[in-house]
Structure 1
Amino acid sequence: MIRICRSTLAHLSLCTLLLCAGVTFAAPVRPQVQATGYVINATVDPATNKLTATVAVTLTALEDVSQITLELNNGLQITKLVDAAQHQLTPERLTTNSTVRIPLTTPFAKGTSTTLTFDYSGTLTGSDTSPVEGIKLAAIADPVSILLYAGRWFPLATPGLFTNRFTAEMHIHVPSDYRVVGSTTTESSPKSIPGNLTEYNFNWTKLGFPGTLIIGKFLAPISAPGIPNVRIWVTEKHKAPASGYAETAAEQFEYFSSVFGQPESGRLNIVELPDDAVSAAWAPQIAAIAGNRIGDKNSRRLLANTIAHQWWGSEVSPATLNDAWITNGMSRYSELMYLEETAGKTSFQSAITDESAAALAYDTEPLTTLGRLDYFSPQFQNMTIEKGAMVFHMLRWEMGDEVFKKFLRGLLSQYTDKGIRSSNIETVAEAQLTPANGSAPNLQAFFAQWLDGTGAPQFHNKFTVYRLGNNKGFRTVGSIDQDLDLFRMPVALRIETDGKTELRRVDVSGSESQYTIETFGRPRRINIDPDNWLLKSTPDLAVRVAVLRGQNQAAQGDLMAALGEYQKALDINKTSSLANYRIGEIFFTQRNYQSSANSFRDALRGDGDPKWVEVWSHIQLGRIFDVTGQRDRAVNEYRLAVQTNDNTQGAVNEARALMQKPYQRPREEN
């Protein structure tokens, strides 16, 4: 998974991934060939932004074919292409989808393998030639160049992104003042070669995704004290926070190893990415983070998610994109498990609420049919990441903590270096739950609801309390109603009585489920699923869903559609601080300062959910006063922001800086 956050304020509660592309529906494409191995010789010249490469790719036919289509970055021009018999081939470039169509001189029979050798070169400067519009995935520049696997800087079988596992032997030549970080199962020292160049050799012999290289004027790698297997590669600009960040990465790597077992490799490289590229990317042994996020305390979750891909993405991968929810979702849930471990239950519960909103934002397609959507569309990203995470969260509730962890370790051990399917999840889960008497539980209803269905239940509770004789307490007879006829899951009830609070677990099946509970104290209140173990629809969540959709529209530049979604949120809850805050952002972008100020004031007068709205509303009001020439009023708002003591996303630090220097709109906004 490659991750990008478009702005700090737009993602304070939720970080939506790769929102540049619209939802694209397409029929699933059957892969014709599978790439199994690469031998890559490449020269990278940051001074000219140029890549020159010779690549031999071994392909296995999955059906009889007379022509092959491979993906290749539009910035690269093929100068020579030959087959295994050295016959010259003439590829056709299709720039609309970053592919090349290759007619073969001899038909390629199903089950056989062959090798094609490409010579190509080109200038890679940014997102203009990217296979994903607007996102920099392959760019050669000073001081850091990126050749990410998803940038298609070498020919990839299609479809096959993040599903077609391969080996790679790479020999990379760079100027002598640059270092290269890649994936390798055997360490080798760089060596000087003619032309004031250095050759770096990488050889990943396991089937996986080793096709990412990051080249930079990096300092010698920095390790956390006593932990040499976790290293961080940064330029001089980001040297100061590197050591502390390495310690954080080592802590996360150790935590995930304790939960999931040892990863494919015991080595991990944290690598600096350019600030204007993606926020994060992963490859075997690599967790790459944007330079401006390194050392930022608010990027700990981003780092955890990226490191988790060493297990969920690298060690096991989706068999098809219909199964991408497994690795995308479990990487996100790993991030949340680490949050729970380090920040406690309250932070975890807050994150689960955000996750639930994101999971429902585009919930119109079953998880197991998403392979026909564009990989980088908002719907594919939200569903596979957020709803995928919630599926694992609910499965944890079904299983219990210890069995859930055994289940995860079982998945990883059974499918190491392989693709995994949704059906495998059900099989392994039921095997973990099989009791000693040999009768296996039936999780069919669970997976049918959450993988093959859409929507979430909206619970309603009705109950009557009866006093028992002889001072034996009270009996509560009630029913849980919800609107999904096929729903079947255990649901927690929290019963608040005159005495102690009690918890019960009730099996809910169908649209109405009866329950009977006896307590010593009189029940005063009964809450359904108080700890948010289930993905469910509530009025509060409907507000968050509408706001999230608005954020996604705003990220794509459709401000009017964003305002429409925010207004839907206000129609549900007129005092929503979050919706008012987002409206204020839109008006500020449009330079409608009075309306913007009004909205931020409404946010401050609203329900205060989430809490960070208060501090950032004061900062935004201060910015408005600064750009309208009212410095005294601006400083007062920054002072109020500091007094909240809420440093969410560095808010207090930002307010203090603005007290010293007035806010000015960035030049590109003027």
Structure 2
Amino acid sequence: MRFHRPAFRGVAAVLLVVSVAGCGGGAGAGGAAGRPGVGDPYFPKAGNGGYDVGHYALDLAYDPGAHRLTGTATITARATEDLSALNLDLKGLDVEEVTVDGAAARWSRAGQELTVRPREAVDGTFRVTVRYSGAPLTLTDPDGSQEGWLRTADGALALGEPVGSMAWFPGSHHPSDKATYSVSVTVPKGLRAVSNGEPAGEEGKGSRTVYRWRTGEPMASYLATLAIGRYDVRRTATAGGLPVYTAVDPEQAGASRAVLARIPEVLAWAERTFGPYPFSSAGAIVERPEDAGYALETQNRPVFPGAPDTGLLVHEIAHQWYGNSVTPRTWRDMWLNEGFATYAQWLWEEDHGGATAQRTFDALYAGGYFPDAETNEALWSFPPAEPPDAAHISATPVYWRGAMVLHKVRRTVGDDAFRALLRGWAREHRHGNADTGDFTSYVEKSAPGEDFAGIWEDWLYGEGRPERP
């Protein structure tokens, strides 16, 4: 998730093609009304019951001077039952028109919910077009950090974790509903628009330029990003031919050059450690520190607030396996993202002449790892698998105690079996979703002769500092 804690975290038209799967609720002749949320334990209104999105095609335009967003989006989804209504997450912005399969549809707004009522119940594949306008919002999370549409000195930066993507396009904004994307963005001439996936062309249109991007692998909407501004863009490739695209604010170019040049090296190490890279390109976006208060593992190219160090680069690249390809089923499962990415940093240090993972584990357990007593104590404030509320899903125990769980597993099964477990977990849930129960079951299945009950009880779910290290 967001790596930002001091201890380390106009008019738009959206065309949705929804091939829907399983909408619940009731309303309207001949079908059921979709549920306004999937019941996430921390963000119950996030996502929408009754359909699974397969593709978003977003055709947007942004004028930084007027702070006005315009566009068209096409969403493809699959329905499991006839639907007389369906919900989309959209925060702010003014809806102007909605059609379903080309026919005008009734709609209503309530908070973040846009409820669409087609003339006839729909099933299977259908198309929803939403036209909306206005100034996209910056949202404040329960932990006080900002997401959604962040204005910058020369443009904007869209960050979506956990629910910020609903500030700039309607959709089913929950990590359990992943989709492919195509994004077209029109900006004033002289600015660039950078998004996920691979570039699919650019075109000058008078005083404006259109940039197109395409993401072919499934992506949770919280991992979607859009960066608009002036960037130094480099297109290179790894030794194996994987495209690497970096976009760096000119003020950060000098400070970023050396660490970004290590992306191929980090990727090669990560592939040896975690298995084949799960996406069609890699890279990074580097903004100025004042443009974002945290780094985020946005798919294909993570976003950094200023030049990252190597450890942070390793962390966000590891997320491409753990978090982006293997995505949490609910926001309660965030330790599967952050514990894995944090442990990846321990492994990198260990493999490159730094502290061993055991030494880091021991320092954490002894209470002397962090420079302040408050953070050392916070490590034991709650179990990593059960954050107390939405404000704590990216708190210290999720990262560091989550990594300690993985180290306890490693000590139990041995180094070789643990490395195989890391690769197998990424392979088994590639481009899918998983929760904590899936992980504990996988570990037990992978090492049937071992007893993990104490690890789960004391380290994963246990309150306070376990008695035995």
Q: Distance in 2 between matches of 1:346 and 1:427?
A: 27
Deviation at 1:248, TM superposition (A): 3.0
2:184 aligned with 1:184, yes or no? Answer: no
1:170 — aligned with what? 183
SS where residue 215 of structure 2 aligns? strand
2:300 aligned with 1:285, yes or no? Answer: yes
The verdict on how the C-alpha distance between 1:207 and 1:136 changes in structure 2, with shifts beyond 3 A counting, is closer
Q: Is contact 1:61–1:108 with CA below 8 Å preserved after alignment?
A: no
1:100 — aligned with what? 113
2:460 — aligned with what? 451
Deviations 1:559-603, CA, capped at 9 Å, x for gaps: xxxxxxxxxxxxxxxxxxxxxxxxxxxxxxxxxxxxxxxxxxxxx
Q: Distance in 2 between matches of 1:198 and 1:104?
A: 36
Q: Distance in 2 between matches of 1:62 and 1:261?
A: 34
1:338 — aligned with what? 348
> 386, 392, 413: which one pairs with 2:400?
386
> 120, 123, 126: which one pairs with 2:132?
120
Q: Is contact 2:339–2:402 with CA below 8 Å preserved after alignment?
A: yes
Q: What is the identity, as a one-letter code, of the residue corresponding to 2:298? A: A
The verdict on how the C-alpha distance between 1:330 and 1:175 changes in structure 2, with shifts beyond 3 A counting, is same
Q: Is contact 2:58–2:72 with CA below 8 Å preserved after alignment?
A: yes
Q: Is contact 1:40–1:171 with CA below 8 Å preserved after alignment?
A: yes
Deviation at 1:149, TM superposition (A): 3.2
2:216 aligned with 1:200, yes or no? Answer: no
The verdict on how the C-alpha distance between 1:120 and 1:352 changes in structure 2, with shifts beyond 3 A counting, is farther
Q: Distance in 2 between matches of 1:363 and 1:241?
A: 36
> 230, 233, 242: which one pairs with 2:247?
233
Give runs of aligned pairs for residues 358-507 of structure 1, distance below 5 A.
361=378, 367-370=384-387, 373-374=389-390, 377-378=391-392, 381-434=395-448, 440-459=449-468
2:4 — aligned with what? 4
Q: Is contact 2:59–2:72 with CA below 8 Å preserved after alignment?
A: yes
SS where residue 134 of structure 2 aligns? strand
Which structure ranks higher in relative contact order (CA pairs < 8 Å, sequence separation ≥ 6)?
A: 2
2:104 aligned with 1:91, yes or no? Answer: no
1:48 — aligned with what? 66
2:49 — aligned with what? 32
Q: What is the identity, as a one-letter code, of the residue corresponding to 2:129? A: T
Deviation at 1:60, TM superposition (A): 4.1
Identify the structure with the greater strand proportion: 2
Give runs of aligned pairs for residues 536-575 of structure 1, distance below 5 A.
none
Q: Is contact 1:2–1:278 with CA below 8 Å preserved after alignment?
A: no
1:575 — aligned with what? none
Deviations 1:415-453, CA, capped at 9 Å, x for gaps: 11011122322333234324xxxxx43434433443343
Deviations 1:5-63, CA, capped at 9 Å, x for gaps: 4xxxxx3xx22x4xxxxxx9869669514333211110122222221122233344577
Deviations 1:211-259, CA, capped at 9 Å, x for gaps: 2121221123165997984343213222223321222333322221221
Identify the structure with the greater helix proportion: 1
Q: What is the identity, as a one-letter code, of the residue corresponding to 2:2? A: I
Q: Is contact 2:150–2:157 with CA below 8 Å preserved after alignment?
A: yes
Stretches of structure 1 that go unaligned for 5 or more consecutive residues are 6-10, 18-23, 435-439, 460-533, 535-670
> 154, 160, 163: which one pairs with 1:149?
160
Deviation at 1:131, TM superposition (A): 5.8
Q: Distance in 2 between matches of 1:394 and 1:288?
A: 31
SS where residue 96 of structure 2 aligns? strand
1:302 — aligned with what? 312
Q: What is the identity, as a one-letter code, of the residue corresponding to 2:98? A: L
Q: What is the identity, as a one-letter code, of the residue corresponding to 2:133? A: S
The verdict on how the C-alpha distance between 1:382 and 1:148 changes in structure 2, with shifts beyond 3 A counting, is same
Stretches of structure 2 that go unaligned for 5 or more consecutive residues are 10-39, 368-374
Deviations 1:54-91, CA, capped at 9 Å, x for gaps: 223334457776554433243x2222222235223322
1:592 — aligned with what? none
The verdict on how the C-alpha distance between 1:379 and 1:171 changes in structure 2, with shifts beyond 3 A counting, is closer
Identical positions, percent: 20
Give runs of aligned pairs for residues 478-627 of structure 1, distance below 5 A.
534=469
Q: Distance in 2 between matches of 1:448 and 1:134?
A: 32
Deviations 1:320-352, CA, capped at 9 Å, x for gaps: 223222122111111222222235226973476
Deviation at 1:404, TM superposition (A): 0.5
1:249 — aligned with what? 263
Q: Is contact 1:163–1:321 with CA below 8 Å preserved after alignment?
A: no
Deviation at 1:391, TM superposition (A): 1.0
Q: Distance in 1 between matches of 2:238 and 2:409?
A: 38
Deviation at 1:395, TM superposition (A): 0.8
* TM-score using structure 1 length: 0.56
Q: Distance in 1 between matches of 2:188 and 2:407?
A: 48
Q: Distance in 2 between matches of 1:139 and 1:340?
A: 37
Q: What is the identity, as a one-letter code, of the residue corresponding to 2:212? A: N
Structure 1 vs Structure 2 CA RMSD: 3.4
Q: What is the identity, as a one-letter code, of the residue corresponding to 1:72? A: L
Q: Distance in 1 between matches of 2:42 and 2:243?
A: 43
Q: Distance in 2 between matches of 1:454 and 1:104?
A: 47
The verdict on how the C-alpha distance between 1:40 and 1:452 changes in structure 2, with shifts beyond 3 A counting, is same
Q: Distance in 1 between matches of 2:453 and 2:202?
A: 53
Deviation at 1:4, TM superposition (A): 2.4
SS where residue 352 of structure 2 aligns? helix
SS where residue 447 of structure 1 aligns? helix
The verdict on how the C-alpha distance between 1:426 and 1:346 changes in structure 2, with shifts beyond 3 A counting, is closer
Q: Distance in 1 between matches of 2:130 and 2:113?
A: 12
The verdict on how the C-alpha distance between 1:380 and 1:433 changes in structure 2, with shifts beyond 3 A counting, is same
